Amino acid sequence: MGFVRYVAKRLLSFAIVLFTGLTITFFLPRMMPGNPIDNYIGQMQSRAGQTLSPQAVQELRDSLEKLYGLQAPCGSST
C-alpha cells in the first residue's frame, strides 16, 4: 500500500509540474512587450543604415505578418 501511495504522489506532482511548465512556456512569449515583426524591421533598417518611410514600414509589416501567419488570432487555422 505504501508503494502505490508513493507512486500516486509522484504522478500527481509530475502532472502539476508539467502543467505549470507548459502554461508558463505558452504564455510568457505572448506577454513579452514588443512585436517580433517590429524588431525584425528595426534590425533590417539598422543593418541597411537607412530608415524607411512610415508607409513602407506598414506595407512591410503587413506583408511579413501575412507571410508568417501572424494576422490571425492564436488558435485559428487561417
pLDDT in tens, 27-45: 988 788 878 888 888 888 8
Is residue 60 within 8 A of residue 52, CB to CB? The reply is yes
Domain count of the chain?
2
Residue 47 is part of which domain span?
35-70
Element (H, E) at 46: helix 36-48
| Phi and psi angles of residue 41, each rounded to the nearest 5 degrees, phi first | -65, -40
Whether residue 75 lies inside any domain: the answer is: no
Whether residue 61 lies inside any domain: the answer is: yes
Dihedral angle over CA of 44, 27, 71, 42, nearest 10: -10
- Range ranked top by mean pLDDT from 12-21, 23-32, 54-63: 12-21
The reply to whether 64 and 45 lie within a common domain is yes
- pLDDT score of 4: 95
